């Protein structure tokens, strides 16, 4: 049995078919029963249902992936076992600075069983620069306090894109790799505020380190109260995936988590339609992906702690992500904290808050540490670029989540990337891709337009059949009318579905473009020309959607009419309806549909010219002369009689 929503979509497709073949008897097979669209004297009601079906179909393109989102991932009680962690590392002996131990007299009186104190002697920040990013490493708390991606700019102000949210007043440590506990975050305040001894490849670093080969950053801190923290991050200069190994010993048995967050990306992607679902936390178990949006996290009364088979998980914004990749059964921690009051108070409205690039919720994600046991996990910090993610492995490419349109959107995105290599402009790439789509559908569209013209020529005969059975309520008589209609189509070589089939087949392509342009990072900050400087944003002046609506109206004026006043009114409303929907769509998608419509106008003009020439030939005689009717109305020929 096919689920209800899918069956409804199939039914809607059947009704949409009646827009181009309103006088046909169309049989559409649904998963449960046969749906028959029968032309009758109730035409206005049927056409109104068809009009509503088109509106719902456009709504499905935007809302299906939201209304029927997958259920949240549940812990697999039958599969999860106790996590196995690698054996403890054989760490080299730590040389304790004399400044910490004091003089010889202090050494002699120190308890031999007390741990050696390890800490930094001063605050230190180091900028580690690779081919992909600039990362600021801080020895206070042993944190990553800044990640600027090279080649990406912020949406506003022309500043470099900063992934680490750094806002005064946040109720959590600012930076990645902080520690926390679900019961009492203050329990981890000591290691989050301490000065660590920080080294790079075993040496105290300078303020700027340019990594041309893999380097290992190490933070170490031991205090006399039972705390011991060792964080090691091996950075790959040619990619975005690093290797993290962390060992924590705490004076209590309170579960401890290493965190990503709070929040990701200082500025929100303001004005992008339909992709705010991709901001917040994300979890992937190797099969299913779960998104916990900022709104979902804001509704949590307590942190969400669960044991699950986690392939990867972390925090994300529409186009970027920071992810742990433990690939093992592990307890995860998902929570959020509110934005600082100073930022919230500056925004009088939610729209103003978005313009500042500071949503009201900061997502946090962590994986649990075992007391005294090292845990190793790759760490990804970077763009949600499909090609980069698939090269990194671990199934990270699923972070680019096209939803239900994935099978359609990915080929579209690949095509646009290839065309961009040739044109250097994603707007031109979209136009060339539209030409390609139109070329593929050209033969089918040509047949469809000719079929619609033939149906227009059959309109008088159709009206005669309908008039003959007008007012007849007997089902058998009406079935006889349907038989006559279908026989008329058959005798004249007309397919009742011929007019709408090209449109129905192109709708999946439209869905694919919608998902590819909305979700793929290829369109972010991608300029076209003039005022269109970001194809992932709506047209700020609405020139493109209004032009698209005008083009659709012109195309309808050129298409063969149906002769039905109700249908004509409905068709006149369709450009208005499409324009309304496309006002907030990404400008890249509007370019696709605008160019597609203009090419449709050109093809319709070509078909009209062909058929007009054919009609002119039919009206003329076999030698190209206009046929003349004999004078006198064709009466009997008079003959001269005999005298």
* pLDDT tens readout for residues 17-42: 444 443 333 344 444 444 444 444 44
Among 54-63, 155-164, 442-451, which is the least confidently predicted range?
54-63
In angstroms, the Cα distances linking 188 to 63, 194, 254 are 42, 10, 10
* pLDDT given for residue 460 in this prediction: 80
CA separation for the pair 447, 250 (Å, rounded):
75
CA separation for the pair 145, 178 (Å, rounded):
10
Pick 498 or 257 by higher pLDDT. 257
The residue ranges of every structural domain in the chain are 98-401, 411-619
Q: List the structure tokens of 364.
A: 């946090």
pLDDT band at 102 (very low <50, low <70, confident <90, very high): very low
The dihedrals phi and psi of 99, each to the nearest 5 degrees, come to -65, -25
Sheet order of strands, 312-316 included: 197-200, 215-222, 228-235, 241-249, 375-383, 320-324, 312-316, 280-284, 289-293
* pLDDT given for residue 269 in this prediction: 47
Three-state SS at 77: coil
CA separation for the pair 47, 45 (Å, rounded):
5
pLDDT at residue 93 is higher than 50:
no
* pLDDT given for residue 106 in this prediction: 38
Contact 200, 215 (CB under 8 A): yes
Q: What pTM, to 2 d.p., does this model score?
A: 0.73
pLDDT band at 419 (very low <50, low <70, confident <90, very high): very high
Contact 601, 548 (CB under 8 A): no
pLDDT band at 135 (very low <50, low <70, confident <90, very high): very high
- Looking at 40-186, list the stretches that DSSP marks H as alpha helix, in order from N- to C-terminal side: 43-67, 98-101, 104-109
pLDDT-above-70 percentage for the chain: 67
CA separation for the pair 336, 300 (Å, rounded):
8
Taking alpha carbons only, the member of 581, 635, 567 closest to residue 19 is: 567
Question: What is the DSSP annotation of 427-485?
Answer: HHHHHHHHHHHHHHTHHHHHHHHHHHHHHHHTHHHHHHHHHHTTT---HHHHHHHHHHH
pLDDT band at 347 (very low <50, low <70, confident <90, very high): very low
CA separation for the pair 380, 227 (Å, rounded):
28
CATH T-level topology, domain 98-401: Beta-galactosidase; Chain A, domain 5 (2.70.98)
Number of helices (H), then strands (E), belonging to the chain: the values are 18, 21
pLDDT digits (tens, 9 = 90+) for 234-266: 999 889 999 999 999 998 888 899 999 888 875
pLDDT at residue 533 is higher than 60:
yes
pLDDT at residue 137 is higher than 90:
yes
Neighbours of 69 (CB within 10 A): 14
CA separation for the pair 110, 102 (Å, rounded):
10
For strands 208-210 and 125-129, give the pairing: parallel
pLDDT band at 183 (very low <50, low <70, confident <90, very high): confident
Three-state SS at 585: coil
| pLDDT, the chain, mean | 75
């Amino acid at each position: 049995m096919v689920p209800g929503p899918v069956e409804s979509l199939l039914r809607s497709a059947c009704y949409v078919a009646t827009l181009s073949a309103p006088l046909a008897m169309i049989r559409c097979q649904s998963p449960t029963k046969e749906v028959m669209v029968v032309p009758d004297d109730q035409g206005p009601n049927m056409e109104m249902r068809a009009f509503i079906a088109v509106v719902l179909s456009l709504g499905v393109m935007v809302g299906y992936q939201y209304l029927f989102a997958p259920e949240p991932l549940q812990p697999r009680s039958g599969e999860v076992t106790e996590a196995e962690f690698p054996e403890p590392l054989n760490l080299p002996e730590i040389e304790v600075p004399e400044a910490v131990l004091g003089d010889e007299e202090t050494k002699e009186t120190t308890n031999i069983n007390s741990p050696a104190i390890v800490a930094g002697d001063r605050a230190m920040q180091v900028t580690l620069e690779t081919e992909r990013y600039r990362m600021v490493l801080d020895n206070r708390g042993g944190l990553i306090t800044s990640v600027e991606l090279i080649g990406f700019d912020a949406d506003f102000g022309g500043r470099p894109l900063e992934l680490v949210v750094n806002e005064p007043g946040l109720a959590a440590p600012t930076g990645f790799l902080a520690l926390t506990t679900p019961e009492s975050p203050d329990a981890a305040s000591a290691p989050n505020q301490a000065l660590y001894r920080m080294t790079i490849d075993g040496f105290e670093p300078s303020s700027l380190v340019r990594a041309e080969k893999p380097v290992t950053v190490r933070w170490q801190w031991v205090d006399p109260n039972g705390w011991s923290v060792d964080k090691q991050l091996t950075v790959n200069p040619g990619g975005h995936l690093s290797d993290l190994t962390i060992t924590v010993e705490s004076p209590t048995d309170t579960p401890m988590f290493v965190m990503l967050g709070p929040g990701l990306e200082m500025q929100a992607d303001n004005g992008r339609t339909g992709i705010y679902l991709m901001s917040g936390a994300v979890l992937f178990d190797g099969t299913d992906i779960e998104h916990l949006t900022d709104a979902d996290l804001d509704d949590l009364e307590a942190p969400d702690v669960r044991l699950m088979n986690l392939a990867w998980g972390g925090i994300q914004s529409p186009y970027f992500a920071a992810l742990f990749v433990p690939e093992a059964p592990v307890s995860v921690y998902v929570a959020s904290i509110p934005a600082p009051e100073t930022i919230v108070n500056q925004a009088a409205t939610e729209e103003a808050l978005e313009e500042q690039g500071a949503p009201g919720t900061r997502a946090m994600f962590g994986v649990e540490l075992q007391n005294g046991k090292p845990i190793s996990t790759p760490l990804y910090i970077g763009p949600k670029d499909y090609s980069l993610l698939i090269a990194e492995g671990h199934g990270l490419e699923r972070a680019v989540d096209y939803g239900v349109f994935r099978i359609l959107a990915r080929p579209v995105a690949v095509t646009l990337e290839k065309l961009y290599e040739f044109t250097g402009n994603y707007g031109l790439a979209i136009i060339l891709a539209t030409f390609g789509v139109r070329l593929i559908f050209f033969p089918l569209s040509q047949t469809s337009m000719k079929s619609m013209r033939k149906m227009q020529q059959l309109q008088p005969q159709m009206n005669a059949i309908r008039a003959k059975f007008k007012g007849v309520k007997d089902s058998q008589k009406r079935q006889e009318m349907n038989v006559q209609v279908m026989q008329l189509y058959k005798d004249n070589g007309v397919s009742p579905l011929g007019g709408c089939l090209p449109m129905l087949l192109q709708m999946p392509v439209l869905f694919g473009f919608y998902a590819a342009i909305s979700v793929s990072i290829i369109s972010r900050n991608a300029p076209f020309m003039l005022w269109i400087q970001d194809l992932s944003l709506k047209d700020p002046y609405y020139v493109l959607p209004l032009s698209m609506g005008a083009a659709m109206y012109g195309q309808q004026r050129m298409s063969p009419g149906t002769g039905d006043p109700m249908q004509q009114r409905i068709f006149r409303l369709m450009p208005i309806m499409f324009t309304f929907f496309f006002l907030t769509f990404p400008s890249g998608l509007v370019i696709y549909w605008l160019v597609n419509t203009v090419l449709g106008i050109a093809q319709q003009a070509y078909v009209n010219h062909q058929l007009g020439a054919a009609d002119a030939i039919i009206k003329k005689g076999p030698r190209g002369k206009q046929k003349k009717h004999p004078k006198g109305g064709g009466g009997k020929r008079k003959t001269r009689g005999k005298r």
